[in-house]
């Protein structure tokens, strides 16, 4: 069953389709062929503007965890029993009104929007009418096709995907380094002096942010545009909020 045909979902998709189409038409006089792609970028910026309060909550929690880092390190050192250590950490977070899960909020809040953008560019019909977004391209690459579906079309059709993936990888790496500088290495409770509780976890955390790059390679080009724009916004937003909230 195609969930995009379910009436409530179809209405939402049709509304988003109208917004992206209207934004594309608004900029098409000077953007030309890239109007629809620019419409996706503008739509992403609108979404991120709406989610600014979520970003503030996330950075405020980061600042709180940074302030609590010495106390957390002390708990990890003094309490060796995992259940007892978890209870002590939760009690510390609760007493200081710091959420250990706030870092997940932007990702969770954006997931439905990203899914909707993905759906807009993989369905030939939206709410019973033809999906005109699929007729648009960026640099010769179809907004509704992914990298692997375009490989046989030659370099002229592939280069927009390559540029997009490189840009996304750069932004993800810059974000990872900025977070590491601000919060320090992720603290994982040690199993004992000089021992790592979860072998290989550091390496996993190092590469985990790049899953979005892998997703972009398999997703429609339009979804990749959403990811790059959103990641760039996040990088700038966190830089500003970290400075402002740390001073506050």
Answer whether residue 65 shows pLDDT above 90.
no
Mean pLDDT score across all residues of the chain = 84
Q: How confident is the model at residue 196 (pLDDT cuts 50, 70, 90)?
A: very low
Banded pLDDT at 204 (limits 50, 70, 90): low
Which residue did the predictor score with more confidence, 243 or 98? Answer: 243
- 114-118, 142-146, 166-170 — which is least confidently predicted? 114-118
Beta bridge partners of 138: 141
Q: Please give the average per-residue pLDDT across 191-207, as a whole number.
A: 52
Tokens, residue 174? 């810059």
What mean pLDDT do residues 180-199 have?
A: 54
Confidence of residue 68 (pLDDT cuts 50, 70, 90): confident
Of 29-38, 63-72, 169-178, which gets the smallest average pLDDT? 63-72
pLDDT of residue 247: 84
C-beta atoms surrounding 68 within 10 Å: 19
* Lowest-confidence pick of 24-28, 195-199, 221-225: 195-199
Q: Kindly tell me if the per-residue pLDDT of 218 is higher than 60.
A: yes
Confidence band of 1 (pLDDT split at 50, 70, 90): low
> What are the extents of the domains in the chain?
3-247
What is the pLDDT averaged over residues 150-177? 87
d(CA 202, CA 200): 5
Q: b/e for 2-33, b at 16 or more Cβ within 10 A?
A: eebeeeeebebbbebbebbbebbeebbeeeee
- Predicted confidence at residue 111, as pLDDT, reads 82
Interatomic CA distance for residues 171 and 154, integer angstroms: 27
Q: Is residue 186 pLDDT above 70, yes or no?
A: no
Q: What does the pLDDT average to over 14-23?
A: 94
Q: What is the DSSP letter of 100?
A: T
pLDDT of 205 over the 70 cut: no
Residue 81: predicted pLDDT: 87
């Amino acid at each position: 069953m195609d969930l995009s045909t379910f009436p409530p979902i179809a209405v939402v998709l049709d509304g988003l389709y109208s917004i992206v189409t209207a934004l594309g038409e608004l900029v098409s006089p000077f953007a030309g062929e890239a109007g629809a792609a620019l419409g996706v970028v503008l739509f992403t910026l609108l979404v991120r503007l709406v989610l600014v309060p979520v970003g503030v909550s996330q950075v405020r929690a980061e600042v709180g965890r940074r302030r609590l880092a010495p106390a957390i390190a002390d708990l990890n050192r003094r309490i060796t029993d995992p259940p007892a250590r978890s209870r002590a950490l939760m009690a510390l977070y609760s007493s200081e009104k710091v959420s250990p899960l706030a870092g997940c909020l932007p990702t969770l809040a954006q997931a439905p929007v990203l899914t909707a953008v993905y759906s807009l560019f993989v369905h030939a019909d939206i709410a019973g009418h033809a999906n005109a977004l699929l007729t648009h391209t960026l640099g010769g690459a179809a907004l509704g096709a992914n990298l692997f579906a375009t490989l046989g079309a030659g370099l002229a059709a592939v280069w927009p995907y390559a540029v997009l993936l490189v840009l996304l990888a750069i932004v993800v790496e810059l974000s990872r380094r900025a977070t590491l500088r601000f919060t320090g290495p992720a603290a994982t409770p040690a199993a004992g002096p000089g021992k790592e509780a979860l072998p290989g976890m550091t390496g996993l955390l190092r590469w985990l942010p790049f899953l979005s790059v892998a997703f972009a390679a398999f997703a429609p080009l339009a979804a990749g545009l959403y990811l790059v724009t959103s990641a760039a916004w996040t990088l700038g937003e966190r830089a500003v909020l970290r400075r402002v909230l740390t001073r506050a």
